Structure 1
Amino acid sequence: MRPVPDLVRQLRPLRLEWLLAAMALLALLPFRAARLPSMTDLPGHIGRYAVMLDRGATPSLETYYDFHWRLVGNLGADLGVLLFGWMGAERAAWLVSAAIAPLTIGGIAAVSRALHGRVQPGAVAAACFAMANPLMFGFVNYCLSLALAWWSFALWIRLRDVRATIALAPLTLAATGTWLAHAMGWGVLALLAGGFELERLVRQRTRAALIEAAVRTLALVPPIALTLAWQGDGGALFAWGDDLLVRKAMNWIVVLRGEAKWIDLATPALLALAMLVAWRRHAIDWRLGIGALLLTLACLAMPTTLFGSWGADERLAPAAVTAALLSLRWRGSRRGAVAIVALAATLFAVRTTMIARDWHRLDQAYASHLRALDRVPHGARIHAVVLQDRCRTAWQSTAYTHFASLAIGRRGALVNSQWLLPGAALLTVRTTGDPTLAHDPSQMVDGFDCTGPIRQPLAARLAQLRTGEWDFLWVLATRGIDPLPGHTPVFRDANSALYRLPAG
């Protein structure tokens, strides 16, 4: 019986590389459509970058904030913004954020080529997860570190036949750089590299192979030492949270959450169906397949909060799916490969275009809200409130949660939407008042329930705000309601309102 020809021999060189390059360029479209990408945490990061780049030049920022560089595994985008700081905090953050998905897709292509000798159809499917839930949520440091993890793992594979003592130096640099961007990206790399070396040990079962693996894994040791030193400063905070079983299941459902629910759910579902239909046409390369299994187990076992970062387990789900798809080697017909590639590329194009459309619409709304800052003097103290819906959680990601942090750079303002991350924060807020009202999550107040708007949602918050401590109250996500009946705003639009608070 004539063997089924391998796709590697059927496709012309670079065909899928060019397709992935086109997908990487298309991933820039949402960023071209919006000056402020609609990523939940990004405005909060921009506020921190503004203080970082200011270097004490603005007296009000010097009064309200402390910024101190420290060696922690959470510096990826901060270092990128520092490099392009001459552009300003907002544009530099835009540039670094825009680069993440193309870098991720490039890393996916590099792993596929290094592992299989030629980019496989599974790599095109894996590229659909380059703009997954973590990026849409604005976990920019983690997502940048994950992109570096794919490139670093491709290097690990490339150096598989190089003597371990020679490979150790470049692998150590790659692992340490990935950790510096974000410790969890290094964790992904460690699991991928561990699976790769474990497969080789099982296959070869020799003392020489064991020694080679032991020497190579020394590349992962410096980040471990750095992490232990970081833990000594309180950075290893962790918690599993409530409704653990439900949350663990949801991690796999919301793997692409951030756009319209139907396309975010349809994309992984259709890709999974296509892979199952063609299951017999795939061979799993266990050099990466073991890593995919390890990532899956880590996602199930990991706490919700790790190193002070929320959503630690949720971030691993897209990485596990990507690794699983990259481990597949197509052994079917050219027609079947083209069908899978066409499906994946189409889903990616549709979803990316929808993101661009909605980011552009939201960007126009954000520009309207920012006109409120024209009424705010430089150095003002702004207490922000984002009205939450306690009945239902919106599927689409928006920038409202930390949106007020843009006032830090634009007005040198004190704003209460920065994070408190013990052991990991470069930025801390100075306040003489109630500290619980000076940082995240104090900006989140219930404004709607299942019956509609809550009557006078800000009454309790106004009672908490000490007279004279804050100059303005900026209410966002109002949905057109009057959040403070009887008070006249100095600015108002369809989804926000700004009020002047009485002086002390």
Structure 2
Amino acid sequence: MSDFKIDNNRYFIFCCFVLLFLLTICPFILFKYPILVDYPNHLASFYIQGNIDNNQWLSENYLVKWEIKPYTIIEGLGGILAKYFDIFLVGKVILISGIVFICSGALLLRKYINGSIDLWVISIFLFIYNHVLFFGFVNYYVSSGLALVAMGLWVKLRNINYIVKVLLFSSISTMLFFCHLYALGIYAIFVVSYELGLIKYSYDKLSMPNIINIISQFLLPFILFVIWWNGNVKNGVVTFYNYGDLTTKIVALLSPFSFDYGQNDLLQILFTLISILVIRIIYPGGVSIYNKMKIPLLTLLVVIIIMPSSLAGNWGTDFRYPFIFMVLFVVSIKFDENNKNTVYFRRYLLGLVLVVTCYKIYYVSNIWNRINPQYQEFENALQYVSPGSKVLTVQNDTGNLSGLDARLYHHMSALSIIQRSTFWPNLFTYVTPIYPTIKTEHIDTAWGSQLTVDDLVSNKYKNGYTYAPHAKVYWENWTQDFDYLISIRFENLSTIDIKNLKLKFRGSFFDIYQIVH
């Protein structure tokens, strides 16, 4: 009999969970800008949706079109909220809702797999600040939480009336399709593998009624997918998939533990993994995986290993599923309460989780604290940009940023859309409800790497040339097509010596030039 009685004290579990949740969302509350790579783009998308009807400059540069395609529900929710609330508050609400969904899904799964919610469930907070969040994959981050909730509901309600079940879970699957295709994918993988696991360990046979029972909920999402895929604009997908190298795969596998793979972050990962190993060696035995979760975990692990780093033009596909795998792994652990080692193993592991989680919150807060003043400085300087103008950004190669990642500045210029209703060519058009107008489509790209001054000077390609999946040249005639050039130069103090450029504002790490036509 375990002497770790407090583990089953509901009040204590509730207090611990709420405390860790509040600690986790503290950085979102304390800082105006959650510094995440793609996050400014999503904010700008929300802002356009919420203000385009009463903003002449936005309506000249962008269109909002709703079509049958993924990635629309979260974008649409942000757009609706942006009509009534401050855009920076809206962004935080969307991000925090993702954490709420992830936590809710984990609680549901732990309850219905384990039979009750125990203190162990707080281990999921170890994976909230992960590499997906670092890149600001807002739609997927929130949608993955919804997928976890859907998994928990399936485990609980899989035996309800067939017609009710088909209607309910067809609606859920369809919702996930419109949230994010990868969220629907991981939910489908879980449902199929979970049912196969139940068949294997209950010795039931795989019959046609069972197959129909499993796949019927995915019929409507499949039809929607076919419609979307056939009508999808193919922006020059050079290769359907790319695996990358061994380092890329290792980075993907460790992504649940890492935020940005900075030096201190890597030390944290090393400390965490070694500590888990040492605790396990000292206290062996007493821990296993629930039988019904073995097949789902094994299936998902295989999918993670074989998942390419880019698929159908989508980059970063290999590190999207690992953190969901870790959440599922945590909620699937079974403790042998009659084994004395179990008590101490769980106790020290939970202590480790608490320490590492608090450190990750501090680590992320430190990054955001250092960059927020820079973002604010940039936002203030946008007063030198004329409303409705067309803005181009270049970013210098940088050496030492005192441990900061230069990619956190890649989409900072999207703030010009919010502050000055500008056109900025690197917004996520086409894949979201935002589209360029006829006047701006020739200088727009759905995705694209950050330009350098050399790209502008060399000017090797014509507008419209596709140089990477969904990325096309838009800067061929930049001196005529754009009104301002933003140079993110970091520690480089030199100015750009190009004809037609007039320096309007010099910041601590950026310059704003007017392009004289």
Q: 2:382 aligns with which of 370, 373, 389?
A: 373
1:427 equivalent in structure 2: 434
Asked if the contact 1:165–1:215 (Cα under 8 Å) also holds between the matched residues in 2, the reply is no
Counting only pairs closer than 5 Å after superposition, residues 139-150 of structure 1 correspond to structure 2 as 139-150=137-148
Equivalent position amino acid for 2:247 in 1: V
SS at match of 1:232: helix
1:491 equivalent in structure 2: 505
**Structure 1 residue 479, shift from structure 2 partner:** 2.4
**Structure 1 residue 411, shift from structure 2 partner:** 0.9
1:451 equivalent in structure 2: none
SS at match of 2:391: strand
Asked if the contact 1:201–1:209 (Cα under 8 Å) also holds between the matched residues in 2, the reply is no
Counting only pairs closer than 5 Å after superposition, residues 229-378 of structure 1 correspond to structure 2 as 229-234=227-232, 239-241=240-242, 243-255=244-256, 256-258=258-260, 260-263=262-265, 266-267=268-269, 269-270=273-274, 272-273=276-277, 276-277=280-281, 278=283, 280-306=285-311, 308-331=313-336, 332=339, 333-378=342-387
**Structure 1 residue 402, shift from structure 2 partner:** 1.1
Query: How many angstroms apart in 1 are the aligned matches of 2:203 and 2:5?
Result: 29
When structure 1 is superposed on structure 2, of 328-337 and 141-150 the one drifting more is 328-337
Q: With structure 2 as the length reference, what TM-score do the two structures score? A: 0.85
Deviations 1:39-59 (A, max 9, x none): 100111122222211233222
Equivalent position amino acid for 2:433 in 1: L
Matched, 1:417 2:426: yes
Q: How many residues align?
A: 489
Query: How many angstroms apart in 1 are the aligned matches of 2:192 and 2:370?
Result: 44
1:450 equivalent in structure 2: none
Asked if the contact 2:8–2:118 (Cα under 8 Å) also holds between the matched residues in 1, the reply is no
2:154 equivalent in structure 1: 156
**Structure 2 vs 1, CA of residues 485 and 443 (structure 1 numbering), >3 Å: closer, same or farther?**
farther
Counting only pairs closer than 5 Å after superposition, residues 168-179 of structure 1 correspond to structure 2 as 168-179=166-177
When structure 1 is superposed on structure 2, of 181-190 and 208-217 the one drifting more is 208-217
Query: How many angstroms apart in 2 are the aligned matches of 1:490 and 1:402?
Result: 21
Q: 1:194 aligns with which of 192, 195, 208?
A: 192
When structure 1 is superposed on structure 2, of 232-241 and 172-181 the one drifting more is 232-241
Q: 1:128 aligns with which of 119, 123, 126?
A: 126
**Structure 2 vs 1, CA of residues 351 and 10 (structure 1 numbering), >3 Å: closer, same or farther?**
closer
SS at match of 1:500: strand
2:467 equivalent in structure 1: none
Equivalent position amino acid for 1:249 in 2: I
Asked if the contact 1:76–1:144 (Cα under 8 Å) also holds between the matched residues in 2, the reply is no
Asked if the contact 2:47–2:79 (Cα under 8 Å) also holds between the matched residues in 1, the reply is no
When structure 1 is superposed on structure 2, of 54-63 and 388-397 the one drifting more is 388-397
Query: How many angstroms apart in 1 are the aligned matches of 2:396 and 2:73?
Result: 31
The two structures, once aligned, show a CA RMSD in angstroms of 3.2
Q: 2:445 aligns with which of 439, 442, 461?
A: 439
**Structure 1 residue 259, shift from structure 2 partner:** 6.7
Deviations 1:181-221 (A, max 9, x none): 11111111111112210111112333597634631432233
Deviations 1:88-119 (A, max 9, x none): 43331222113212321222122111110123
SS at match of 1:28: helix
Equivalent position amino acid for 1:79 in 2: G
Identity of aligned residues (%): 16
Asked if the contact 2:491–2:509 (Cα under 8 Å) also holds between the matched residues in 1, the reply is yes
Matched, 1:26 2:26: no
**Structure 2 vs 1, CA of residues 441 and 426 (structure 1 numbering), >3 Å: closer, same or farther?**
closer
Asked if the contact 2:240–2:312 (Cα under 8 Å) also holds between the matched residues in 1, the reply is no
Equivalent position amino acid for 1:31 in 2: F
User: Which consecutive residues of structure 2, in runs of 5 or more, have no partner in the other structure?
Assistant: 461-474
**Structure 1 residue 310, shift from structure 2 partner:** 1.8
Counting only pairs closer than 5 Å after superposition, residues 48-67 of structure 1 correspond to structure 2 as 48-67=45-64
Asked if the contact 1:390–1:446 (Cα under 8 Å) also holds between the matched residues in 2, the reply is no
**Structure 1 residue 139, shift from structure 2 partner:** 0.6
Query: How many angstroms apart in 1 are the aligned matches of 2:160 and 2:259?
Result: 41
2:468 equivalent in structure 1: none
Equivalent position amino acid for 2:485 in 1: L
2:484 equivalent in structure 1: 472
Deviations 1:53-100 (A, max 9, x none): 123322222222222011212124213213422114333122211321
**Structure 1 residue 347, shift from structure 2 partner:** 0.8
Asked if the contact 2:60–2:437 (Cα under 8 Å) also holds between the matched residues in 1, the reply is yes
**Structure 1 residue 134, shift from structure 2 partner:** 0.7
Query: How many angstroms apart in 2 are the aligned matches of 1:233 and 1:368?
Result: 42
Query: How many angstroms apart in 2 are the aligned matches of 1:164 and 1:410?
Result: 52
Q: With structure 1 as the length reference, what TM-score do the two structures score? A: 0.87
Equivalent position amino acid for 1:92 in 2: V
Deviations 1:460-488 (A, max 9, x none): 46994443321110112532432414866
**Structure 2 vs 1, CA of residues 323 and 157 (structure 1 numbering), >3 Å: closer, same or farther?**
same
Query: How many angstroms apart in 2 are the aligned matches of 1:459 and 1:173?
Result: 52
